[in-house]
Structure formats: C-alpha cells, structure tokens
C-alpha cells in the first residue's frame, strides 16, 4: 500500500495541497472588505429611503415617546450584540470561571 492511497472520508485534494496562512489571511481580508462595502451601501440606501419617505416627519406632531422607545430598543439590541461578540473572543478557561 502506498502513501497516496486514500481511505475513509479524507478529501484527496485537501490532503495533497494544504492552504498556507498567507492565502487564508488574504481571503479573509477580501471578504471583510466586501462585507464593509456592502454594509455601507445598505446603510446609504436605507438613509436615502427614510429621507424620501419623511419617516421622522410624522413624529413631530406627537410628544416623541414612540421615537424614544424605538431608539432605546435599537440601542439595547446593538449593545447585546456587542456583548455577545466580545464573549466569543474570550478563552475557554475564562468562560468557565
């Protein structure tokens, strides 16, 4: 039996050529930049849509409590997401304590 025989569920192409960390880091950088650009485009589109629809103009006749509650809930959800993201970077030993 030679070293080139593959048994079980091992993928032959992955075994023959391993990715180096430089290529992986470059691919992650490109994906991160693409994600940032997409988020910027979506934020711009939503902002323009809200400006054209006069979304905040109707709340001027009221006391603004609905807008304050919506802003508070949006901030609360953003903070919860940030805390979750920070907890994922903690080492496994620190999470158990």
Does 79 share its domain with 96?
A: yes
Does 49 share its domain with 36?
A: yes
pLDDT of residue 79 exceeding 90:
yes
In a domain, 5, yes or no: no
In a domain, 1, yes or no: no
The pTM for the full model equals: 0.46
* Count of structural domains within the chain: 2
| Residue-number span of the structural domain to which 29 is assigned | 12-55
In a domain, 75, yes or no: yes
- CA–CA–CA angle 48, 54, 58 (5° rounding): 150
Average pLDDT over residues 53-64: 66
More confident residue, 81 or 16: 81
In a domain, 7, yes or no: no
Percentages (nearest 5) of helix, strand, coil residues in the chain: 70, 0, 30
Does 64 share its domain with 34?
A: no
pLDDT (tens digit per residue) in 23-46: 888 889 999 999 999 999 999 998
């Amino acid at each position: 039996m030679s070293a080139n025989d593959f048994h079980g569920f091992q993928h032959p192409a992955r075994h023959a050529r391993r990715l180096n960390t430089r290529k992986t880091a470059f691919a992650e950088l490109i994906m991160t930049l693409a994600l940032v650009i997409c988020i910027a485009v979506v934020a711009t589109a939503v902002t323009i849509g809200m400006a054209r629809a006069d979304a905040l103009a109707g709340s001027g006749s009221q006391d603004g409590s609905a807008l304050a509650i919506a802003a508070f809930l949006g901030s609360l959800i953003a903070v919860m997401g940030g805390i979750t993201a920070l907890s994922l970077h903690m080492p496994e030993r620190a999470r158990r304590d």
